[in-house]
Amino acid sequence: MKKAVFPGSFDPITLGHVDIIKRALPLFDQVVLAIGVNADKKYMFSLEERLAFLNDTFQDQPKISVTTYTGLTVDFCKQIQASYILRGLRNAMDLEFEKAIAQTNYKMSGIETLFLISSSGMAHMSSTIVRDVMRNGGDYHFMVPDPVKK
CA neighbor of 145 nearest in space, from 59, 67, 32 = 59
- Whether 35 and 50 have beta carbons less than 8 Å apart is answered as yes
Beta bridge partners of 34: 7, 67
Query: CA quadruple 64, 115, 28, 23: dihedral positive or negative?
Result: positive
Q: What are the catalytic residues? A: 17, 41, 90, 127
Helix (H, G, I), strand (E, B) or coil at 73: helix
Q: What is the DSSP letter of 123?
A: T
Q: Which H or E element spans position 34? A: strand 30-36
Alpha-carbon separation of residue 88 from 38, 97, 150 (angstroms): 21, 12, 25
- Whether 86 and 6 have beta carbons less than 8 Å apart is answered as yes
